[in-house]
Amino acid sequence: MIGELSEWACGLRPGDVPDRVRALAVSQLLGHLGAVCAGARHGAGRRILRLGAPFGDDPARSAYAMAALSMLLDFDDTVFAGHVSHSAVGVPLSYARRAGLDGDRLLLSIVAATEVAARVTAAATLGPFRGQTAAHTHLAGAVAGRCVAEGRDAATMREALGLAFAQPPWTLDHAFFGSDAKTLVAATPLRAGLDAVDAAAAGLLGAPDLLEHPAGFLARFSTTPLPQAAGGLGRRWHTDTLSIKVHPGCAYLDAAIDAAVALSRQVADRFDQISSVDVDASIFTVGMEERSAPYLDGPGSGLAALNFSTGYSVAAALRRGRLEVEDFEAPRLQDGEVWRVARLVRVRHDPEVTRRALLAAAPLGAALRLAGPEGARWLAGGAGVAEDEALALLGEPEATFEAAEKAVGARLRVGFADGSELAAAVDVPEGAAGAAMRAGHREVARTKLVRNAAPLLGEPEAARLAAAVEALPGADAPQVAALMDGLRDALQG
């Protein structure tokens, strides 16, 4: 796997990337910068900035700090499979000035790193770690992002990947949900990946078969290894599965939050009369609620627990018609009425919603199809169907992701003291991969960046920043450097 991925990434040229994929990479960059700016606005983000200056003189420290900022509020975007942008976008951005990248080379580096990191993550996704807990994603993203940005050869990338995956991170739930350590879950392996590139450049050798070897990475990090996920290079573009979060928090909560936003105007004058809130959702949403609930402590809750809490996020969205950075710190976090409603929220498993979510390409369906009968067993257990029916439902693996969906839906019902009820349902959340996202990804991404950069820069300057990102295709190296200066000023001002 390592050799194939390295040869492809280091041999990739701008003309090899389809126009639609390049356009999605621009939106991926816009959305990621929106997450970084959101993190910088939060009080905890100001503490992160003490760790290093984004777009300063040290690109490794810059990438580390940006990864922590983008992780802080769980506002990071995703592809199948993984939250790759912390490294796949952050590393090429941080090294762009030193490497003298023009716009096309910067976007090429982002695409190459995304495709490599997504494939490595997909190969291990049927195992104990998915989503943000799959911190090994950023070993691959950092190595690929830096090697392609700096124009290194495939041999260097091959050795660097072999070295980086020799000590892969193992995420502990107690730290992830119960402390600030989650903030560094991408930053720490990212830095290890960058160090591995330096080690490889110095002549150290890695194991070229480390991913698929019987005593290697997949054997330890996956219950159903999928080395075949590394295939389809140049044909099956994981960038096609881009999902951009429009709310800070876990993506598995997005459908319930969208539904709450849809009902908020009808609820606004009756918020104090809410007597029940029911969310019927998939095992993904139910699982996050079960894992985060023990770490909730009202206004004293840590950010990680809050970002994974369906109850708090739905209550805040019902209250204000949006979920924003400000909802995760004082004074909004002390709103007693929001917490009263949050404690009323019941999250219940709906097998039909689970079946729909598991069959969609993201977050898991494409992996289940690659796994064949083993994947059918996963689907059967989650959706409550027989294994032969599950196998028929899954069908053949995708040859392309051009029609991919991320359909983690939910149904929301809000009851009132007078016995009346309001209801809303969402199949594919706003910003999640699907037909609507393919048609409108640029607007979703631009809005995310402008909305989160405006409090730092002002609305006109935030709009100019977004326009500079959108102008990257065809931009020369000085224009890219000027964009880096604008981002530095935004995050340090």
pLDDT at residue 381 greater than cutoff 90: no
Write down the pLDDT at residue 492: 79
134 has a pLDDT exceeding 70? yes
The more confident residue out of 378 and 63 is 63
**Tens of pLDDT along 274-305?**
999 999 999 999 999 999 999 999 999 999 99
Fold of the domain built from segment(s) 251-350+408-426: 60s Ribosomal Protein L30; Chain: A; (3.30.1330)
Lookup result for tokens 């991925």:
5
Pairing, β 345-349 against β 410-416:
unpaired
Model confidence, pTM: 0.97
Q: Work out the burial of residue 466: count CB atoms within 10 Å of its CB; fewer than 13 is exposed, 13-18 middle, 19 or more buried.
A: buried
pLDDT tens-digit map of 189-205: 999 999 999 999 999 99
What is d(CA 304, CA 171) in angstroms, rounded to the nearest whole number? 14
Closest CA to 206 of 251, 248, 160: 160
Mean pLDDT confidence for 121-141: 96
Task: Indicate the CATH number for domain 2-246+440-492.
Answer: 1.10.4100.10
Residue 52 is predicted with a pLDDT of 85
143-187 per-position pLDDT tens digit: 999 999 999 999 999 999 999 999 999 999 999 999 999 999 999
pLDDT score at 383: 72
Q: Which residues contact 463 (CB under 8 A, 6 or more apart)?
A: 450
Q: How far apart are CA 137 and CA 122, in angstroms?
A: 9
CA separation for the pair 376, 304 (Å, rounded)? 32
- Tell me, what's the pLDDT at 131? 92
Tell me the pairing of strands 345-349 and 274-281. Answer: parallel
Q: Do the two domains 2-246+440-492 and 251-350+408-426 of this chain adopt the same fold?
A: no
302-361 residue pLDDT tens: 999 999 999 999 999 999 999 999 999 999 999 999 999 999 999 999 999 999 999 999
User: Which residues share a beta bridge with 415?
Assistant: 276, 421
Kindly tell me if the per-residue pLDDT of 386 is higher than 90.
Answer: no
pLDDT value at residue 493 = 63
Res. 380 pLDDT band, cuts 50 70 90: confident
pLDDT at 56: 86
Domain extent listing, the chain: 2-246+440-492, 251-350+408-426, 362-394
Q: What is the secondary structure of 323-364 as a DSSP string? A: --GGGGSTTGGG-HHHHHHHTTEEEEE-HHHHHHHHHSTBTT
